[in-house]
Structure 1
Amino acid sequence: MRTVLVTGPGGAGRTTVAAATALASARSGRRTLLVSADAVPAFPVGAAPTEVAVRLACVRIDSAAHFRGELLDLQDRASGVLDLLGANRLDGEELTELPGSAQLAVLHTLRRAAEGDWADEGYEALVVDLPPLTEALALLALPGQLRRYLRRLLPRERQAARALRPVLAQLAGVPMPAQWLYEAAARKDAELAAVEALIEDNATTVRLVAEPGPSAVEALSTARTGLALHGLRVDSVVASRVLPRHSGDPWFADLAARQEKCLDTWHQEWASGTTVRETAHLGREPRTVEDLALLAGSCAPDDRTPGRAGDPWWTEDAGDGVIAWCLPLPGAVKEDLTLVRRGDELLLTAGPFHRIVRLESALRRCTVSGAALTDGVLRVRFTPDPGLWPRTQ
């Protein structure tokens, strides 16, 4: 399934571009699903996929309903423990969603589209209207982070004593929570794995939407580093609300000249494999299907193979037995990079972005002997540890 994840600086028109992208996809012959947490004026729908045009369905994420459902389900599963503690149950009507619930609702919706009850609808394309840029990058990294937390907090090897739990429960006279806890963790891990697979799939790309201007140039330049750090592939940069270039009005002509300067910068920065598209300023807020159709021509999903899926790291022979582990980090600044080796993991910080990478088996038997950022590529040098490598005769 072709998946396009749409994000950009707040107020740049990403929801409009996501809707236009979905409409263009449907008109090209794909059965398309548009997912958005915000209202799409042209497609007034609810929490279930609704047909809004030929071959196009739309669904709006209801984070409050998802929060209530998850918490009430947790109460039911932990009923024995809660009754033992004398806890008072919470009713759905009194629950107010907490910070962070919106991100979890997006992940839940992506899982339903990838392999849940919506996957049987035969959608050939998925367009997702993500939150603003900084939040979206954190959201796309969240499945891997949560899976890592689950493995650390509830390692599977601790389930070896599962057969003893019924006996312990009888001896203690109270229900043992470990069983349902591990089952819940395994279920959540499987759901997160499905979302992670969707994000890392070879047919998934990110589409950046920004209104040309100095602040947008800075925001997208910073985003390039975060996207590369997590191996996310950008298919295009969509410049929204582009003004006519040859206006007779000096004020509009000056604004158009500033936009054109920004567009030239993007064409230079994103030249390799990323298309810079333009959507015209309609002179009004797009609110109808006809308005979206005017923008759809510039928003059609790219049919080219998006690029290599999976982790962006690769290794090189640095000579003298040293292995260089390489990661492209366009836009990164050496002063903003931090590397920490902890056990079998490498903790990497690039400006506001963080990632924890599990080392390959060969690199775990090496020591970090240096790192350098050259031409937008970070190379971490690993020297084999004689005490951990088999000796040769």
Structure 2
Amino acid sequence: MRTVLVTGPGGSGRTTLAAASALAAAREGRRTLLVTTDPVPGLTGSPAGAAPAVTADGLHHVRTDSAGHFRAELTALQDRASGVLDLLGANRMDGEELTELPGSHQLALLHTLHRAAAGDWSEDRYDVLVVDLPPLADALALLALPGQLRRYLRRLLPPERQAARALRPMLAQIAGVPMPAQWLYEAAARKDTELAAVERLLGDRTTTLRLVAEPGPAAEDALGRARTGIALHGLRVDTLVANRVLPRHSSDPWFADLAARQDKCLDLWRAGPEALTEVPHLGRDPRTADDLAPLGAHCVPDERTPGPAPDPWWTEDTRDEPGGDALLTWCLPLPGAVKEELRLVRRGDELLLTAGEFHRTLRLESALRRCTVAGAALTDGVLRVRFAPDPELWPRAR
């Protein structure tokens, strides 16, 4: 399944372009599912939380329901924890009185992606999945969320602890407090399975990120900051869509000045790392499927399966170089990163990396786990972390 994740700075028209891309794929005869969080003008989609509805030209459209998902999850949690809640004398809450909390929007979208990947709504798998993500900064945080949540679950409820469940009654008597019930580990395992499926979808070689931006200084600044997070999380960008491009050579001086400013930004984007696609301004807000059609013609998802993604990080071995230090260097491209905003912490077999507003916990390769961090440097947009082999762990040459 070809998956296209669409995002961009707020107000750039990413929802419209996501719908147009999905519609164009469907009109080519490919079975396409569009996932959005809001209604799309011109598409008669299903109500939020319902099964996908068939819209114009056979396109399937589903909307996330964050409020409904939050109520269902919390109600189910209360049912599973009934014994503990009764012991504490807690009063349960009805679904009608539950109001969703911050973060429920992201969890509902991840749940929808899991259902789409698992094929819950159709016996036949979709050929194309187009997902309208939140604005750029929030989208990058969302795409990192499955890995972060799985790490938290493993730390708080280690799977190996389940082997001691037969000892829980005895341990409860010794400690004087009830031990975690089996349902808690089972719930964690179910959630881990769901998050793992979303991680596989996001990391699949057929999944790409599509950036939508209206040419201008604000969009250029937003993209410059986001490129660091995109590289840090190993995401693949298939194209940068310049949306609402104004016609050139207008006789109106004010209009011509706006077009000239866009051209200046487009020149920078043409020289940038992403492939550029220009979508002309319609002169009006899209309101029908016919309005979406000319937009989708410029950014229809490629039917071909993308090739294997190049490894975004690589290791340089200088141990055998003449005059070189006995070091291994792990290279992480971080375009746009600022030295003063970088923070690096080694914790066991993990490397905790902060680059401005972006964070990621990276598991070290087996060779690097047997080394100590000897230093780091940011040069030409590449962070090079130097590792020195630990004599206590590294095999000695005879």
Short-chain TM bin: over 0.9
Higher mean Cα deviation, 337-346 or 71-80? 337-346
What residue ranges of structure 1 are gaps of 5+ in the alignment? none
Is 2:292 the counterpart of 1:263? no
Match of residue 94 from structure 2: 91
Q: Contact 1:34–1:58 at 8 Å: present in 2 too?
A: yes
Pair 1:313–1:141, CA change in 2 (3 A): same
Match of residue 300 from structure 1: 300
**Separation of aligned partners in 2, 1:326 and 1:40:** 42
Match of residue 85 from structure 2: 82
**Separation of aligned partners in 1, 2:75 and 2:123:** 27
How many percent of aligned residue pairs carry the same amino acid?
75
Pair 1:151–1:172, CA change in 2 (3 A): closer
**Separation of aligned partners in 2, 1:312 and 1:67:** 36
Match of residue 178 from structure 1: 181
Aligned amino acid, residue 332 of structure 1: A
Pair 1:99–1:228, CA change in 2 (3 A): same
Q: Match for 1:210 among 197, 213, 221?
A: 213
Report the CA distance between 1:308 and its aligned residue. 3.7
Is 2:329 the counterpart of 1:324? yes
Pair 1:338–1:306, CA change in 2 (3 A): farther
Report the CA distance between 1:174 and its aligned residue. 10
**TM-score, normalization by structure 1:** 0.94
Is 2:375 the counterpart of 1:378? no
Between the two proteins, the alignment pairs up a number of residues equal to 390
Pair 1:175–1:305, CA change in 2 (3 A): same
**Separation of aligned partners in 1, 2:327 and 2:122:** 46
Q: Contact 1:81–1:177 at 8 Å: present in 2 too?
A: no
Pair 1:326–1:37, CA change in 2 (3 A): same
Please give the residue correspondences for 1:208-287 in structure 2 after superposition, counting only pairs within 5 Å.
208-270=211-273, 274-287=274-287
**Separation of aligned partners in 2, 1:185 and 1:16:** 37
**Separation of aligned partners in 1, 2:382 and 2:10:** 29
Pair 1:166–1:341, CA change in 2 (3 A): closer
Q: Contact 2:2–2:305 at 8 Å: present in 1 too?
A: no
**Separation of aligned partners in 1, 2:186 and 2:309:** 30
**Separation of aligned partners in 2, 1:224 and 1:11:** 19
Pair 1:119–1:222, CA change in 2 (3 A): farther
- What SS is found at the alignment partner of 2:123? helix
**Separation of aligned partners in 2, 1:356 and 1:388:** 23
What residue ranges of structure 2 are gaps of 5+ in the alignment? 320-324
Higher mean Cα deviation, 82-91 or 121-130? 82-91
Higher mean Cα deviation, 360-369 or 102-111? 360-369
Please give the residue correspondences for 1:1-393 in structure 2 after superposition, counting only pairs within 5 Å.
1-45=1-45, 46=47, 47=49, 48-118=51-121, 120-165=123-168, 177-270=180-273, 274-309=274-309, 312-319=312-319, 320-393=325-398
**Separation of aligned partners in 2, 1:305 and 1:315:** 28
Q: Contact 2:114–2:194 at 8 Å: present in 1 too?
A: yes
Q: Contact 1:63–1:105 at 8 Å: present in 2 too?
A: yes
Higher mean Cα deviation, 280-289 or 113-122? 113-122
Report the CA distance between 1:385 and its aligned residue. 0.9
Pair 1:292–1:327, CA change in 2 (3 A): same
**TM-score, normalization by structure 2:** 0.93
Report the CA distance between 1:93 and its aligned residue. 0.8
**Separation of aligned partners in 2, 1:307 and 1:315:** 22
Q: Contact 1:235–1:275 at 8 Å: present in 2 too?
A: yes
- What SS is found at the alignment partner of 2:215? coil
Deviations 1:60-103 (A, max 9, x none): 11100000110111111111111222221211111100000000
- What SS is found at the alignment partner of 1:269? coil
Aligned amino acid, residue 357 of structure 2: P
Report the CA distance between 1:335 and its aligned residue. 2.5
**Separation of aligned partners in 2, 1:376 and 1:308:** 23
Higher mean Cα deviation, 105-114 or 176-185? 176-185
**Separation of aligned partners in 2, 1:170 and 1:310:** 55
Aligned amino acid, residue 84 of structure 2: V
Aligned amino acid, residue 113 of structure 2: L
Report the CA distance between 1:34 and its aligned residue. 0.2
Deviations 1:242-286 (A, max 9, x none): 11011111111000000111111111112xxx3211111111111
- What SS is found at the alignment partner of 1:120? coil
Report the CA distance between 1:375 and its aligned residue. 2.6
Pair 1:338–1:174, CA change in 2 (3 A): closer
Higher mean Cα deviation, 242-251 or 162-171? 162-171
Report the CA distance between 1:39 and its aligned residue. 1.4
Aligned amino acid, residue 298 of structure 1: H
**Separation of aligned partners in 2, 1:276 and 1:229:** 22
Q: Contact 1:35–1:128 at 8 Å: present in 2 too?
A: yes
Report the CA distance between 1:197 and its aligned residue. 0.6
**Separation of aligned partners in 1, 2:137 and 2:306:** 22
Report the CA distance between 1:312 and its aligned residue. 2.6
